[in-house]
Amino acid sequence: MRINRDTLLRIAQDTVKQRVRKDRSLLSAYLCGSLLGDGYLLGGTADIDLVFVHFDAPPEGREIVGLTQEVHLDIAHYAQKEFRNTRKLRAHPWMGPTIFACQVLHDPQHFMDFTQASVRGQFNRPEYILERARTQAEHARQIWMAFYREMPTQPGPQELELYLRAVGHAANAIASLSGPPIAERRLLLEFPRRAEAVDRPGLQPGLLGLLGAPRVDHAAVRAWLADWQASLDKLPQGYSLARLHPARSAYYRLAFEALLDGVEPMAVLWPLLRTWTDAVRLQPVDEDARQAWNQALQALNLAGAGFAERVEALDAYLDLVEDTLEGWAEQAGI
SS (H, E, C) the chain: CCCCHHHHHHHHHHHHHHHHHHCCCEEEEEEECHHHCCCCCECCEEEEEEEEEECCCCCCCEEEEECCCCEEEEEEEEEHHHHCCHHHHHHCCCHHHHHHHCEEEECCCCHHHHHHHHHHCCCCCHHHHHHHHHHHHHHHHHHHHHHHHCCCCCCCHHHHHHHHHHHHHHHHHHHCCCCCCCCHHHHHHHHHHHHHHCCCCCHHHHHHHHCCHHHCCHHHHHHCHHHHHHHHHCCCCCCCCHHHCHHHHHHHHHHHHHHHCCCCHHHHHHHHHHHHHHHHHHCCCCHHHHHHHHHHHHHCCCCCHHHHHHHHHHHHHHHHHHHHHHHHHHHCCC
Instruction: Output the pTM of the full model.
Output: 0.95
Q: What is the pLDDT of residues 12-23, one digit of tens each?
A: 999 999 999 999
pLDDT at 282: 86
Q: What is the pLDDT of residues 159-169, one digit of tens each?
A: 999 999 999 99
Domain range list for the chain: 5-120, 126-325
pLDDT at 154: 84
CATH fold, domain 5-120, is: Beta Polymerase; domain 2 (3.30.460)
Q: What is the pLDDT of residues 112-168, one digit of tens each?
A: 999 999 999 999 999 999 999 999 999 999 999 999 999 888 899 999 999 999 999
